[in-house]
Amino acid sequence: MLETVQAAPPDAILGLTAAFKEDARPEKINLSVGVYQDENGRTPTLASVTAAEQRLAAAASVKSYLPIPGAPEYGDIVRQLAFGAEHEVVQSARAATAHTPGGTGALRVAGDFLTANFPNLTLWMSEPTWPNHPNIFTAAGVPLKSYPYFDKATNALNFDAMLAAINEIPSGDAILLHGCCHNPTGIDPTPEQWEQIADAVYGRGVLPILDFAYQGFADGIEDDAVGLRAFARPGAELLVCSSFSKNFGLYRERVGALTIVCPQADQVKAIQSQMNKVIRCNYSNPPAHGAAIVNTILRDSELHSQWEGEVATMRDRINGMRQQLVDSLVEKQVPGDYSFITAQRGMFSFSGLTKDQVETLRTEHAIYIVGSGRINVAGLTPSNVDHVAEAISQVVGQPA
Ligand code: LMR
């Protein structure tokens, strides 16, 4: 039987990292997967994480199973980080949280939860979106449609078209939004636009799902929650998929969470039981280590402020590299206006490079970026940015 199985196509993002590893050219640069690198091209383990791990190692070790939704104190702290400790959603205890293996795990549990409880629902995604979004929800059996998001002509949010599309979504469907640092475009709604989006979504009777993977990478931990909090209205329901891969640098520990905010606290038990049901037949219960680190840091005021400082350092370095990339492109007189790169937020820049140009960057310059033209700005360093700008200048000069 197995002889009949055909090879699957490589993953749009992680497939590139696999190809990068095989590439023997010493000058190669990986700007594909969203992983932060410091100015020396290293992905650091945060000092707050190391300190938390030392404390955990010194404490008594327990290796028995966690509960299906993870440790309750982790769920509490995840909600406090997303909504704010004093927020009504937290205070009224009307949200259920499951600790999941990464943000991807949170999205998959959300997909399984939707299929199990709302089999006729369609999920609406932004065009474009993270290439793994359709993979995850299709695997979970959720039908998909898309709404417009990006205006190619202006390199900005196509807000009118987005809002008009939301106003056509049938009641009882769900919509997936990027809580901040939209992946791949790096373009987010303004706080006022978030309010209008929430008005439209709730006005239509549509269930919002916020993918919240980059808190702290745009303006700050609190500021970046403004979109999510626009949805956290009294009595309103929403799903939040958190990831701590980027803002804690815990990529390989696979630590995330799915939070479902219910209209009333008395619905939490039923919702939690349905989450538990889909988790139990998937990975049974979560891996402990990453969540223990996050919990330790966020519950200790010293480690918490050290961590916030480290997130600010990553954010500032990325923004500095945005500026350096633009300066270098201007200096090389690359045709086109690239100033939009400094207006984008988070790890990524949607460069506008075509598929062919992306391919040429890889084959002729050993520079790996995602096929959509998405550049991981967090992979640029003072020593590679000029080389990248030079390569872009060469491919932009070629016919698309
Ligand atoms: C990305 O978009 O590069 C990251 O979210 C990593 C991933 O899993 O694709």
Categorize the per-residue pLDDT at 398 as very low, low, confident or very high, splitting at 50, 70 and 90: low
- Percent of the chain whose predicted confidence (pLDDT) is above 90: 95
Q: Is there a catalytic annotation at residue 246?
A: yes
Pocket test for ligand 1, best of 33, 242, 349 (most atoms within 8 A of CB): 33
> Is residue 313 pLDDT above 70, yes or no?
yes
> Is residue 218 pLDDT above 60, yes or no?
yes
Task: Note the pLDDT tens digit of each residue in 262-276.
Answer: 999 999 999 999 999
- Percent of the chain whose predicted confidence (pLDDT) is above 70: 99
Q: Is there a catalytic annotation at residue 130?
A: yes
Q: What's the 299 CA to ligand 1 centre distance in angstroms?
A: 28
Task: Note the pLDDT tens digit of each residue in 64-114.
Answer: 999 999 999 999 999 999 999 999 999 999 999 999 999 999 999 999 999
Q: What's the 257 CA to ligand 1 centre distance in angstroms?
A: 16
Task: Note the pLDDT tens digit of each residue in 219-234.
Answer: 999 999 999 999 999 9
Task: Give pLDDT, residue 61.
Answer: 85
Where are the chain's structural domains?
A: 11-44+311-394, 65-299
| Fold annotation for 65-299 | Aspartate Aminotransferase; domain 2 (3.40.640)
Task: Give pLDDT, residue 97.
Answer: 98
Task: Note the pLDDT tens digit of each residue in 174-198.
Answer: 999 999 999 999 999 999 999 999 9
> Is residue 321 pLDDT above 70, yes or no?
yes
Q: What's the mean per-residue pLDDT of the chain? A: 96
Task: Give pLDDT, residue 173.
Answer: 98
> Is residue 283 pLDDT above 90, yes or no?
yes
Q: What's the 206 CA to ligand 1 centre distance in angstroms?
A: 27
Structural contact between residues 157 and 150, judged by C-beta atoms closer than 8 angstroms: yes
Ligand 1: residues with CB < 6 A are 13, 33-34, 130, 132, 183
Task: Note the pLDDT tens digit of each residue in 121-176.
Answer: 999 999 999 999 999 999 999 999 999 999 999 999 999 999 999 999 999 999 99
Task: Give pLDDT, residue 254.
Answer: 98
> Is residue 291 pLDDT above 90, yes or no?
yes
Burial 67-77 (b: 16+ CB within 10 A, else e): ebbbbeebbbb
Task: Give pLDDT, residue 335.
Answer: 87
Q: Which residue has the tokens 């330790």?
A: 296
Q: Per the residue annotation, which of 124, 130, 194, 307 is the catalytic one?
A: 130
Q: What's the 205 CA to ligand 1 centre distance in angstroms?
A: 30
Pocket test for ligand 1, best of 130, 135, 349 (most atoms within 8 A of CB): 130
Q: Per the residue annotation, which of 112, 211, 224, 307 is the catalytic one?
A: 211
Task: Give pLDDT, residue 397.
Answer: 82
CATH of 11-44+311-394, one of 3.90.1150.10, 1.10.10.350, 3.40.50.2300, 1.10.10.1100: 3.90.1150.10
Structural contact between residues 352 and 398, judged by C-beta atoms closer than 8 angstroms: no
> Is residue 400 pLDDT above 70, yes or no?
no
